[in-house]
């Protein structure tokens, strides 16, 4: 059975840091593009960062320089290190897997999703 389970979300003050994790199971983790997306209430789901099967990362402009995506294929875990958090980073954060090793910065390219973990940043 295939699973993606996110953890690490919390309420923090602006300027703070968090690390999100996404544990994958039931599939060969290393060969797939993995990504983080986020969705705030009333907003569309937007890409945060992707990392392909060669561990090449890509970031949205809004988080570049503040967030770092990484993967540990041995542990089958995806990470998102978030620093200098801003109130506009508040959202539900989702882990996603594409049906392939290459990545695209759009939710439509991803067919498998976790249930999300909530990040709230207060000013």
pLDDT in tens, 103-117: 999 999 999 999 999
Q: β-strand 18-25 against 3-7: which pairing, if any?
A: antiparallel
- Whether 16 has a pLDDT exceeding 90, the answer reads yes
pLDDT digits (tens, 9 = 90+) for 31-72: 999 999 999 999 999 999 999 999 999 999 999 999 999 999
**Could you tell me whether strands 77-82 and 67-72 are parallel, antiparallel, or unpaired per DSSP bridges?**
antiparallel
Question: Could you tell me which residues are beta bridge partners of residue 48?
Answer: none
Q: What is the DSSP string of 72-121?
A: ETTTTEEEEEE-S--GGG-EEEEEEE-SSSS--SSGGG--EE---EEEEE
**Cα torsion angle, 37, 65, 104, 71, sign:** negative
């Amino acid at each position: 059975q295939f699973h993606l389970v996110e953890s690490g979300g919390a309420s923090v003050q602006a300027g703070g840091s968090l690390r999100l994790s996404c544990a994958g199971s039931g599939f060969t983790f290393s060969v797939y593009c993995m990504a983080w997306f986020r969705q705030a209430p009333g907003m569309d789901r937007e890409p945060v960062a992707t990392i392909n099967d060669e561990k090449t990362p890509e970031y949205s402009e809004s988080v570049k320089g503040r967030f770092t995506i990484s993967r540990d294929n041995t542990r089958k875990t995806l990470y998102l290190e978030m620093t200098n958090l801003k109130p506009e980073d508040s959202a539900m954060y989702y882990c996603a897997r594409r049906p392939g090793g290459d990545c695209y910065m759009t939710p439509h390219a991803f067919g498998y999703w976790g249930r999300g973990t909530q990040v709230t940043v207060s000013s």
